[in-house]
Every structure is written in C-alpha cells, then in structure tokens.
Structure 1
Amino acid sequence: MDGIKKLTYSEQVAEYIKQSILEGELSPGDQVKEVLLAEKLGISRAPIREALQILAREGLIKSEPQKGKHVSALTAKQIMDSYFTGGVLEAAAVTQALPLYTDEDISNLEQIVEQMREVAESGKDHESLTKLDTTFHNILFSRIDNELLIELCRRSCQGISKFLLYKRWINLYTPQQVYERHLVILEALKSGRPSRLEKTIRKHYTDSGKRMSKYGVDVHKG
C-alpha cells in the first residue's frame, strides 16, 4: 500500500475499503472476503478482520452467520430512518450548543456558504461541494461536547451519503440547491431562535432521506 500515513494496518485497510466503496469497486451488497483482501494487500488476515470490525461499527459493513461479510445494502426505509435519526440528533445537539457559537464560527460558516454560491454560479465540478459540506457541518459539530452524539450523527448519514451511495448523493441536489439549503441553516443559526434552528436542520436531513431512499435495495427482489 503506497503513501502510508501514521495509521495502524487495520486503519489503513479500513481506508482502502472505504476508497474502494467510494470509487465503485465495491458496491452495496458485495461480499468482502478476508482471504482475497489479505492476498491483494500482501498482509495477514488479522488487520483485515480488525478493519472490517471498524467498518461494521461505522455501518458500512454487515456480517451475517453463514453469509459472511458484505458492504451494507440498505432498504428505502432504512435510508429514510437513518437520515431522520441523524437529523433529529444533529438538530438537538446544535440547538443546545446555540449560545456557544462565536462570531468567528458564524464568519467561517458565511465564507463556506459564499463559496457554495460561487460554485453554483461558476458551474464548477459538483464534487468541490463535498468538502465545503463537510467543513460546514464540522463547524456545527465543533461546539458540541458529546463525542458519542457526534459519532451517532455521522454514522446515521455520512456513511450512506459519502460512501455507500456517494455517486447518487453528489447529484442529489443542484449546486444552487446545495447553496440554498446551507444558507437557510446559517440564517436559522444567526436568528438565535432554537425552535427555528432545530426545525431547519431536521428538515435538511429528512428531505435528503426522502430523495436518497429511492436508491434503496428492494427486499423482495431475488
């Protein structure tokens, strides 16, 4: 594996599998075989097993007796439920942290939203919005003093949108819509009104969940 960073073997393998999912080499439902991965990467099966446990905790890998380990494939309902859960958790957490956001936080969010607007107007590659979206939500998370809550928020939505169904998610909204969706969150935050902020963030996720749900697997198929 080239370009090794200061990560354990298992963490490197986890990143390798994530990248394979992101690039479409592994798709939802595909089996992940420890033996084949060990041979391909030239390492023992132990770090492979540990990596799959890491990804299982993140919701990206599912393990079933007699069926082995597979890339998670979610039904429409599971996708909607995940986004609903993530939205409820993030909305509650951000609303509780509302008094803690600084002028610098607001300024940074304004800059990100402005960059989103520039992308929308310039017609640049949609993928440049991914990093802006991540940075935007990271700033919101930065004032939340609850690591478990942040982990649950990210697992609920990011595993689906930014890995399992990334190619779908990146085109879920036009760049103009991405800009507008984050602008309303920023305006709700700046309003200082908890009820408005919580409702806005919940809607942000439930709307995405409804759109993403059409890419869920058909449980009756096969």
Structure 2
Amino acid sequence: MRVTFRCDPALIDILPRPKLAREAIPDWLKSMPAKAFSDLHGRDVRTVKQCPPFVDAMAHGFMISLPCDVRVEGGVFEWDWPAPPITVDQHPASPLSFHPPAQVLGTPLHRPDAVLIKFNSFWTIELETGWSLFATHPVNRPDLPFRLLSGLVDADHFHDGGINFPATWLDPEFQGVLPKGMPVAQCFAVPRARPELVFETLEGENAIAYSATVAEILAAPNVYRKRFRQRK
C-alpha cells in the first residue's frame, strides 16, 4: 500500500511528517512491566505489554501529529506557530479550529458545555484505487485529553483537499501544553469492498483444530506470538 502525502511548499521543512504508528508507541507502554502481581490470582500475571493484539493495534497504520505546541489554560487554547505565509489558497493557517456543540446534538458526545475541536490538516492524503482511509483516535490512548471522532474517507478519490480530524475535548480541568508531534489521529488504509459474511458450525477438522489450539494456548504462554503472529 502506497500512501502519498502532500503539503504546502512553505511548510515542507517545518511540518511534522506523518509517521508509522509503530514509531509513535507511547513511553508508558515502553516502560511498563511485562508482569504484575494480581491480587485476584495471588501471583504475577502477564500485562498487556505481552499481548500482541493490543500492541499490534497500537502499531498499525500511521499517525497524524500536532504541528506545533498548543497551550491550554482555563478552557482557552493558544498557540504561537511562526510558520511562513501559506502559498496555497484556502489552506488553513492554524493548528486548531472549533465545531459548535449543536453538530453532535442527539449523540452521546453532546453536552451543554462540550468543546469540540478540530485538528486541521496540513497534509493531503492519497491512497491507491479501491482503498479508503479510516481515521480514529490513537488506539488504546485514553491518556490523551481528547477523543477523536472516527471517520472514513474515500481518499483514493478525495485527495486534493486536507482531511481534518474533529474531536471532543474530555478534560475541562486540563492545564498544560499539547506538544508538537503529539499524535492526534491514527489512520489505516482499508479496502472499500463489502465483506461476504459466511456462517458455519464447528465440526470435523475445524472442531478438532479448535480444541487443539485452545488446549495449546492454555498449556503454555506466547503460543499466538510464536505460531500465529505475522511479522509486520
């Protein structure tokens, strides 16, 4: 899968480039222990650091990052981004803009005091024919003070304008800085063809394979990682 990114010529040397999600694994995952004591079991158990599906989901696709520091204090968002003048007409010049809360009226996201931000796009994204772009909140990142709204864009056709990333602000008490390079959206290329759903019962060889696989997983650790996980 080839993904092509384009930005305004004035920003090419200062704009953080999208990066593979595996290059944006948070420090807390890197530093967390592989095992931790469980009061329920009375012994050490493996943490999610040893769960390949958990880690692989966080490492899949690519990340869009914040282009500059954004200070948040008292519900006010401020930034000082000394970017040169934009050369392309209709191009955004600020890292954030905002949505009125009425746009999510009737959804669980709506609150009278809701703050809906939009991470503006400074890169266009072009995918190969037949593929769409699925953008979502960085996977397994509840530590971020916002929650991105997931979206699907047919980026094989829509690639001449930027894809913006709306989010609901979760922490009204947050005071601090959202740093330049902070991941704001995790993106995957997904095929647009509808899947064919097939339903069967576990019988014969499939039933035998099921029982053998589960027995092996219960008997020893790391079976999935050693036998089934594919190199990515």
TM range (shorter): under 0.3
Higher relative contact order (Cα pairs below 8 Å, separated by 6+ residues):
1
- Using the size of structure 1 for normalisation, the TM-score is 0.23
Higher strand share: 2
- Using the size of structure 2 for normalisation, the TM-score is 0.22
Higher helix share: 1
Query: Which is greater in Rg?
Result: 2
